[in-house]
Amino acid sequence: MNIKLLVDGGSMKPGPALSQKLGPAGIPINKVIEKVNQETATFKGMQVPIEIEVDLKTKSFEVQVFSPPVSGLLKKEVGIPKGSGLQKKLKVGNLSIEQIISVAKAKKGNLLCKDLKSAVKTVVGSCVSLGVLVESMNPVDLEKLIDEGKYDKEIKEEKTETPKEKEKELKEFFEKLKAEQDKKLKVETEQKEALAAAAPATATPAKVAEKAPVVKAAGKTPAKK
């Protein structure tokens, strides 16, 4: 029996999907969860696809762990729970080419790329939708530099460790950018609030006053001639 699940790395918990399948088969669920959490501990904080292969005759099981999606690995590298909702105007991180190579190596087998360089370009492309800079640049611009061979040395040597000096520079660049972004967002918010306050309140249409009934003065009806 094969069970496919998407679990929280290192913190899988009992659930109906697992209980309904393993319970009737007599497989100890707690042992399965313990094994899954051990195998996925390095992906803590991410959603991880796994497969549990169960032998119903021997009551044994095997856990196979697959690497998280590229976006999940990138968010882990940046240290963010989610990407930017405003990719063009709001950046949420600044990665090094070494970090990109690390993710590319982890996902190369699933990306159907002919070589590591192609995988690196694919990972850089994913940074666009997340709002993540690479080497303090727009990912689209960095892809062009990859094509031109600027990072061939790092890719060929499969470098995955960012030099401390570069790490410091990337951090300082992003902190400065973030301060500018926060300032712009604050100004935009204040402008919107000011416009909202200045806008005239929607007036309720005045009710048309009802005409009072015309009261005729009492009098004698003229006599017919």
| pLDDT digit string, tens, across residues 102-115 | 999 888 767 778 88
Higher pLDDT, 129 or 224: 129
pLDDT on residue 56 = 81
Higher pLDDT, 224 or 29: 29
pLDDT on residue 167 = 95
Average pLDDT over residues 69-73: 87
pLDDT on residue 214 = 55
pLDDT on residue 84 = 78
pLDDT on residue 95 = 96
pLDDT on residue 213 = 57
Q: How far is CA 191 from the centre of its chain?
A: 28
List, in order of start, the domains of the chain with CATH numbers. 2-65 (3.30.1550.10), 70-186 (1.10.10.250)
pLDDT on residue 215 = 54
- Summarised one tens digit per residue, pLDDT across range 152-207 is 999 999 999 999 999 999 999 999 999 999 898 888 888 888 888 887 655 455 55
> 209 pLDDT exceeds 70?
no
**Of 190, 170, 192, nearest in space to 78 by CA:** 170
φ, ψ at 66 (rounded to 5°): -110, 150
- Summarised one tens digit per residue, pLDDT across range 125-159 is 999 989 999 999 999 999 999 999 999 999 999 99
Cβ–Cβ under 8 Å, residues 123 and 160: no
Q: How many percent of the chain have pLDDT more than 70?
A: 88
> 46 pLDDT exceeds 90?
no
Residue 94 tokens, joined = 């600044």
Residue 58 tokens, joined = 């021997």
What are the residue ranges of helices labelled H in the chain?
Answer: 16-22, 29-39, 70-78, 97-111, 116-130, 139-147, 152-156, 164-198
> 221 pLDDT exceeds 60?
no
pLDDT on residue 216 = 54
State the average pLDDT for the chain: 83
pLDDT on residue 203 = 46
